[in-house]
Amino acid sequence: MSDEQLVLAAVDGHVATLTLNRPKALNAISPALIETLIAHLDRFEADEQIRALVLTGSDRAFAAGADIKAMSTASASEMLLGRSIERWTRLAACRKPIIAAVSGYAFGGGCELAMMCDIIIASESAQFSQPEVNLGVMPGAGGTQRLTRAIGPQRAMEMVLTGNPITAQEALQYGLVNRIFPIERYLAEAQALAATIAEKAPIAVMLAKEAIRAASETTLREGLALELRNFYLLFDTEDQKEGMRAFIEKRKPIFKGR
């Protein structure tokens, strides 16, 4: 399989869907897959026509973890100098909203990749796990940090220290996922949600995402300052004028991302 086929890309209107495509390896996340994913992210982030993205895998596995064969013999210096895990954060840095459509296994790096997205839609078969302790290591791509912020320290501690998976229903109860759908609908529902977001003012969506992310990464004072700055900035956009004019005129706004 060529690198181009490791991640499949499809566009429908203003929504791009990226599909992890290593079925024989249950979408294990290899360095080549990450580089291919990053290439697609760079392309779609620069494309003004794309306003929201969906990241998914197969019905059987979103991603069953990092590619263990690729790192099993690596030394600490090789991991440090290779910066392979740091490259994953490109997903979290995307300024456009990303919805993870998760079915089956989201283990280890797969769970961490899903948590880098902004919203998680799960199928009824989804399972989430951070099983790195079973391999003699620990999460390294956000599994101890994003998971703790999502579900709290006690539940994160249990998941990380035991390596035991949680079901989609437990993930919903804990606040890790937004919604659960039957396996035949979860991807379509994620794409429909992305299409709804893509109808909104793109710059407002981008700055709102930035402010919400800051809520878990900064102090309240810093977060409020960022929120207010972004709010004021939007008054220099054409979409703000269009949105408020449309409200007054009782019609649907036409947003252009300007």
Q: What is the pLDDT along the chain (258 residues), one digit of tens a residue?
A: 556 699 999 999 999 999 999 999 999 999 899 999 999 999 999 999 999 999 999 999 999 987 777 776 777 777 676 667 778 889 999 999 999 999 999 999 999 999 999 999 999 999 999 999 999 999 999 999 999 999 999 999 999 999 999 999 999 999 999 999 999 999 999 999 999 999 999 999 999 999 999 998 899 999 999 999 999 999 999 999 999 999 999 999 999 989
Length of the chain: 258
According to the model, what pLDDT value does residue 87 have?
84
Other Cβ atoms closer than 10 A to 169: 13
According to the model, what pLDDT value does residue 82 have?
65
According to the model, what pLDDT value does residue 1 have?
54
Contact by Cβ (8 Å): 144, 112: no
Task: Give the domains, in start order, of the chain with CATH numbers.
Answer: 3-198 (3.90.226.10), 202-248 (1.10.12)
Task: Please name the residues in contact with 234: beta carbons below 8 A apart, sequence gap of 6 or more.
Answer: 201, 203, 204, 207, 240
Other Cβ atoms closer than 10 A to 49: 11
According to the model, what pLDDT value does residue 4 have?
64
Q: What amino acid positions are annotated as catalytic residues?
A: 66, 109, 112, 132
Q: What is the pTM of this model?
A: 0.93
Cβ neighbourhood burial of 6 (10 Å; 0-12, 13-18, 19+): buried
